[in-house]
């Protein structure tokens, strides 16, 4: 039904609003994801058109868009501050009504977006230009239709001093215990910040072995995912180092399997589990650098979350010594 073909576009409007508020790669990915979802729903877009006889009066009469069946109609066009020209589309009749009165037609969203590849002068499609606008460039449309991520893939190792539960990143890692039912330290902080639904999901996981990793949603966190890993309690045995390395390795592997491209680690086992911070930092950095070196074309941003300056300084010291 036509209304359904448009009403569900609210998820696009919400994603665009979030992009306006937060900015950032994740918010842009979410807009692309919303368009992909609506294409799979056979959604439509509202296209402002002018009959040829009135096109002369339009600000910049566009050429017919050809491929999406509007060959004899003129598309209303807009010009952005940088001089680029954009065809226009609205996610709803209400958005269309915010601008000057024009005739509109509804066209299958996929046709409209696929038509962008034939644009000669236009930079893309201005979505809802009279409301929370989104300039959907031809390049981004192409990536969206191809199911690709919107941001260029990058490999980086970064450090952050602060509370991991506040990080705006795809995934944070929890230094959990084998029950996965919460605890003190960062485990307690993550459960408090994520909310009780996290514990409910963790109950379904039936624990986790030391060195292994399991994934859940992020719930009330900004992070979409939490990877729970269980570090070794430090006894000074050789196996401690292997188990700690396995925590980082298995967490990165699980992130890759879930198409995650940015992940933050706390200093696993260096709190309640007593692992000497410098030895732990050496292991963590070696695994991270080794993983990136063997997965160059995947693109992973690894952030080491340091709850205090001392931890940060230890990472920097280890980095310098191994540079």
Of the residues 307, 312, 314, 318, which one makes contact with ligand APR according to CB under 6 A: 307
Cα 239–Cα 244–Cα 248 angle in degrees, nearest 5? 145
Shortest Å distance, C-beta 47 to ligand APR: 48
Which residue, 74 or 214, is less far from ligand APR as judged by CB? 214
Please state, in angstroms and rounded to a whole number, the distance separating the CA atoms of residues 306 and 224: 20
Q: Applying CB under 6 A, does 186 fall inside the site for ligand APR?
A: yes
183 in contact with ligand APR (CB under 6 A) = yes
> Measuring CA to CA, which residue among 194, 242, 192 is closest to residue 220?
194
Under a CB-based contact definition with an 8 Å cutoff, are residues 225 and 174 in contact? no
Distance in Å, CB of 312 to ligand APR, minimum: 10
Can residue 305 be called a binding residue for ligand APR (CB under 6 A)? Answer: yes
Dist CA 11 CA 13 (whole Å): 5
Backbone angles phi, psi at 88, to 5 degrees: -120, 145
Among 23, 52, 66, 188, binds ligand APR (CB under 6 A): 188
Q: Are 237 and 274 a contacting pair, CB within 8 Å? A: no
Q: What CA–CA distance (Å, rounded) separates 304 from 285?
A: 9
The DSSP code for 189 is: H
The smaller minimum CB distance to ligand APR, of residues 39 and 167, is found at 167
Q: Choose one: 148-156, 207-215, 270-278, 293-301; the region binding ligand APR (CB under 6 A).
A: 270-278
Q: Binding string, 161-180, against ligand APR, x = CB under 6 A?
A: --xxx---------xxx---
- Is position 248 an interface residue for ligand APR (rule: CB under 6 A)? no
Find residue 213's DSSP bridge partners: 229
Q: Which of 124, 211, 218, 231 binds ligand APR (CB under 6 A)?
A: 231
Query: Where does this chain bind ligand APR (CB under 6 A)?
Result: 163-165, 175-177, 183-189, 231, 266-273, 305, 307, 311
């Amino acid at each position: 039904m036509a209304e359904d073909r448009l009403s569900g576009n609210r998820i696009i409007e919400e994603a665009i609003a979030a992009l306006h508020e937060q900015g950032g790669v994740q918010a842009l990915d979410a807009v692309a994801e919303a368009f992909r979802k609506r294409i799979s729903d056979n959604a439509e877009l509202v296209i402002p058109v002018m009959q040829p006889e009135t096109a002369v009066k339009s600000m910049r009469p566009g050429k017919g868009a050809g491929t999406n069946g509007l060959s004899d109609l003129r598309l209303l066009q807009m010009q952005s501050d940088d001089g680029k020209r954009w065809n226009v589309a609205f996610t709803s009749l209400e958005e269309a009504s915010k601008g000057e009165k024009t005739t509109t037609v509804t066209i299958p969203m996929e046709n409209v977006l696929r038509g962008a590849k034939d644009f000669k002068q236009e930079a893309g499609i201005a979505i809802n230009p009279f409301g929370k606008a989104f300039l959907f460039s031809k390049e981004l449309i192409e990536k969206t239709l191809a199911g690709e991520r919107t941001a260029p893939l990058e490999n980086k190792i970064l450090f952050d001093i602060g509370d991991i539960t506040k990080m705006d990143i795809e995934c944070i890692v929890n230094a959990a215990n084998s029950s996965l039912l919460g605890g003190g330290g960062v485990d307690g902080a993550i459960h408090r910040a994520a909310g009780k639904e996290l514990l409910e999901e963790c109950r379904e996981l039936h624990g986790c072995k030391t060195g292994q990793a399991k994934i859940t949603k992020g719930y009330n966190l900004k992070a979409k995912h939490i990877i729970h890993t269980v570090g070794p309690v430090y006894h000074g045995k050789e196996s401690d180092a292997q188990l700690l390395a396995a925590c980082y390795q298995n967490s990165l592997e699980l992130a890759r399997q879930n198409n995650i491209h940015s992940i933050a680690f706390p200093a696993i086992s260096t709190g309640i589990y007593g692992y000497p911070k410098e030895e732990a930092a050496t292991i963590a950095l070696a695994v991270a650098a080794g993983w990136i070196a063997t997965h160059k074309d995947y693109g992973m941003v690894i952030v080491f979350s340091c709850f205090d300056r001392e931890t940060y300084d230890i990472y920097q010291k280890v980095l310098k010594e191994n540079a």
